[in-house]
């Protein structure tokens, strides 16, 4: 069986080496690139992202990736958003009063968490929905590494975590999956998640 071909979208955001290595560790054939044809053609596309929402959207805009991502989602082709790479999949990000339109393949807005200490930084527990494919084989009370100050409100069926308030820690909508935490920084638990995603690529 050939290894699934995964593209990590390189639009100038942060540490991509960890995502590349973590995916390779669980068996993916990983390419880090801004090449849209390669990204469109991959078995799975990872949309990473750290930093400010507006800066990430500007980076995605600069490489012209939004239509490709929308096209993949519309065609039911797997996409995995990570951290701000999850947030930009929503319709809107609101940071410090700056309201930035997102890619809009997920309904809703990303807002600042109501918590006394931000960023939400560290290892936290999550509550996946029953039958989650993303969290298959992951034990209860398993912790994942978060670092973010903004998040989306959880919809029914989303994986929930809490920091000051409940928020969407992960979503699974058809072929569109995303995590607010960093699986590539979450040790063996994160590797299990990435392995689950690779298996879903079929």
Partner 1 sequence: MTVAVRVIPCLDVDAGRVVKGVNFTDLRDAGDPVEMARLYDAEGADELVFLDITASSANRATTYDVVRRTAEQVFIPLTVGGGVRTADDIDRLLRAGADKVGINTAAVARPELVRECAERFGSQCVVLSVDARRTARRTAAAGVPQDLSDRRSSGPRFEVTTHGGRRGTGIDAVAWAARAAELGAGEILLNSMDADGTRDGYDLEMIEAVRAAVSVPVIASGGAGALPDFGPAVAAGADAVLAASVFHFGHLRIGDVKAALADRGLLVR
Interface with partner 1 by CB under 8 A: which residues? Answer: 14-15, 17-18, 21-22, 25, 50-52, 55, 84, 115-125, 143, 145-149, 161-164, 182, 184-188, 190-191
Q: Has 83 been annotated as catalytic?
A: yes
Nearer to partner 1, 15 or 74 (CB): 15
Specify whether 184 is catalytic: yes
Cα–Cα nearest to 65, from 102, 107, 16, 91: 102
Alpha helices in the chain (DSSP H): 17-25, 36-41, 53-63, 66-74, 84-87, 187-200
* CA dist., res. 196 & res. 143, Å (int): 16
Compute the least distance from the CB of residue 50 to partner 1, in Å: 5
Nearer to partner 1, 40 or 118 (CB): 118
**Given the complex with partner 1, which of 79 and 189 has the nearer CB atom?**
189
Pick the catalytic residue: 56, 148, 172, 184? 184
Closer residue to partner 1 (CB): 149 or 175: 149
Is 56 a catalytic site residue? no
Least distance in angstroms from the C-beta of 79 to partner 1: 22
Catalytic residue among 83, 148, 163, 172: 83
Q: Taking the alpha carbons of 186, 187, 189, 190 in that order, is the dihedral positive or negative?
A: positive
Measured between alpha carbons, how far is 178 from 86 in angstroms, rounded to an integer?
5
At closest approach, how far in Å is the CB of 117 from partner 1?
A: 6
- Tell how strand 120-125 and strand 143-148 pair up: antiparallel
Which of 120, 148, 163, 182 is catalytic? The answer is 182
- Smallest separation (angstroms) from partner 1 to the CB of 18: 6
Residue in 120, 136, 138 with CA at minimum distance from that of residue 187: 138
Q: What's the distance, CA 151 to chain centroid?
A: 12
Active site residues: 83, 182, 184
């Amino acid at each position: 069986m050939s290894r699934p071909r995964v593209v990590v979208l390189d639009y100038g955001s942060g540490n991509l080496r960890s995502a590349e290595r973590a995916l390779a560790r669980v068996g993916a054939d990983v390419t880090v690139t801004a090449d849209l044809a390669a990204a469109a053609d991959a078995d799975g596309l990872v949309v990473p992202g750290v930093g400010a929402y507006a800066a990430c959207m500007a980076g995605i805009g600069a490489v012209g990736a939004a239509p490709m991502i929308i096209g993949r989602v519309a065609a039911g082709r797997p996409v995995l958003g990570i951290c701000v790479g999850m947030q930009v999949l929503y319709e809107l990000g609101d940071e410090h009063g700056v309201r930035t339109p997102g890619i809009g393949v997920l309904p809703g807005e990303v807002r600042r968490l109501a918590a006394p200490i931000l960023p939400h930084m560290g290892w936290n527990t999550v509550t996946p929905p029953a039958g989650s494919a993303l969290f298959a084989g992951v034990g209860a009370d398993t912790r994942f590494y978060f670092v973010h100050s903004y998040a989306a409100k959880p919809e029914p069926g989303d994986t929930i975590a809490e920091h000051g308030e409940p928020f969407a820690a992960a979503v699974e909508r058809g072929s569109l999956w995303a995590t607010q935490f960093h699986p590539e920084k979450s040790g063996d638990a994160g590797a299990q998640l990435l392995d689950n995603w690779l298996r879903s690529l079929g």
